[in-house]
């Protein structure tokens, strides 16, 4: 397990890449892709508001703005998964003899729970659907996001079952940041730390040379 706490996300990313390259284990995944991997990498970003992408990471400001909205909108796909739709429209339930499809907006549910009880431990968004995802190959990497109000600020914890640290970690952080900023605004509260827990934090062999240029 590797834990890290930094003020800004751009400082954290380089440290995680270095830790995986130097101390990660060689793992060949189910697609026969070679990686270096660390299990349970937990990174706390204390100042997400002032965190910026590494210089040159996003090709344009429009791309950056789109990333910050990717978990809020139902027409954005990330690695083939429509996270916004899963968060806002995917889950529901059935009642009675007839079938009723009830779309659950989990963002609205989280905001309502925290408005009713600031110390709630039930303000959690889930993405993984076992009724579908246990039987298909392309399943969500991010599986849940949890919210707590503590010290009069919003704490975010997002969990990935599998996380491509070089290719996806930065943009995933800013996706979560955009979601958390929206929830904090709805609650009229300050955005606090964002914690990213990567159960499998890995770098693909095809990216080793690019990573080495960053961590020098």
CATH of the domain at 104: 3.30.572.10
Q: How far apart are CA 2 and CA 4, in angstroms?
A: 7
pLDDT at 79: 66
- Per residue in 114-145, pLDDT tens? 999 999 999 999 999 998 899 988 899 999 99
Percentage of the chain with pLDDT > 90?
78
Q: How far apart are CA 176 and CA 146, in angstroms?
A: 11
Tally the domains of the chain.
1
pLDDT at 81: 82
Q: How far apart are CA 42 and CA 158, in angstroms?
A: 10
Tokens, residue 157: 């914890």
Confidence of residue 97 (pLDDT cuts 50, 70, 90): low
Has residue 205 got a pLDDT over 90? yes
pLDDT at 87: 95
The more confident residue out of 17 and 64 is: 17
pLDDT at 153: 98
pLDDT at 101: 60
pLDDT at 161: 98
Determine which of 18-22, 48-52, 73-77 has the lowest per-residue pLDDT on average: 73-77
- Domain interval for residue 152: 2-215
Distance of CA 132 to the CA centre of its chain: 20
The more confident residue out of 135 and 93 is: 135
Q: How far apart are CA 83 and CA 211, in angstroms?
A: 27
Has residue 25 got a pLDDT over 60? yes
Partners of 27 in beta bridges: 35
pLDDT at 51: 95
Has residue 61 got a pLDDT over 90? no
What mean pLDDT value characterizes the chain?
93
Sign of CA dihedral 173, 108, 70, 168: positive
pLDDT at 93: 62
- Name the residue among 156, 144, 216 with its Cα closest to residue 180: 156
Contacts for 102 with CB less than 8 Å, ≥ 6 apart: 92, 93
pTM of the model as a whole: 0.92
pLDDT at 120: 98
pLDDT at 44: 98
Tokens 């390259």, residue? 21
Percentage of the chain with pLDDT > 70?
94
Has residue 99 got a pLDDT over 60? no
């Amino acid at each position: 397990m590797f834990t890290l706490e930094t003020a800004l996300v751009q400082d954290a990313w380089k440290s995680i890449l270095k830790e995986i390259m130097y101390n990660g284990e060689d793992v060949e995944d189910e697609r026969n892709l070679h990686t270096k991997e660390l299990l349970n990498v937990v990174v706390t970003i204390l100042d997400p508001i002032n965190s910026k992408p590494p210089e040159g990471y996003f090709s344009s400001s429009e791309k950056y703005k789109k990333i910050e909205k990717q978990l809020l909108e139902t027409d954005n796909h990330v690695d083939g998964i429509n996270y916004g739709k899963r968060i806002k429209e995917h889950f529901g339930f059935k009642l009675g003899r007839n079938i009723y499809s009830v779309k659950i907006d989990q963002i609205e549910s989280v905001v309502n729970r925290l408005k009713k009880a600031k110390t709630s431990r039930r303000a959690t968004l889930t993405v993984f659907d076992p009724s579908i995802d246990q039987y298909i190959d392309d399943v969500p990497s991010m599986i849940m996001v949890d919210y707590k109000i503590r010290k009069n600020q919003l704490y975010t914890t997002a969990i990935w079952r599998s996380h491509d640290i070089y290719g996806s970690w930065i943009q995933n952080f800013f996706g979560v940041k955009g979601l958390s900023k929206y929830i904090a605004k709805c609650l009229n509260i300050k955005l606090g730390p964002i914690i990213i827990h990567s159960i499998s934090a890995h770098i693909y062999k095809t990216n080793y040379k690019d990573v080495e240029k960053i961590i020098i």
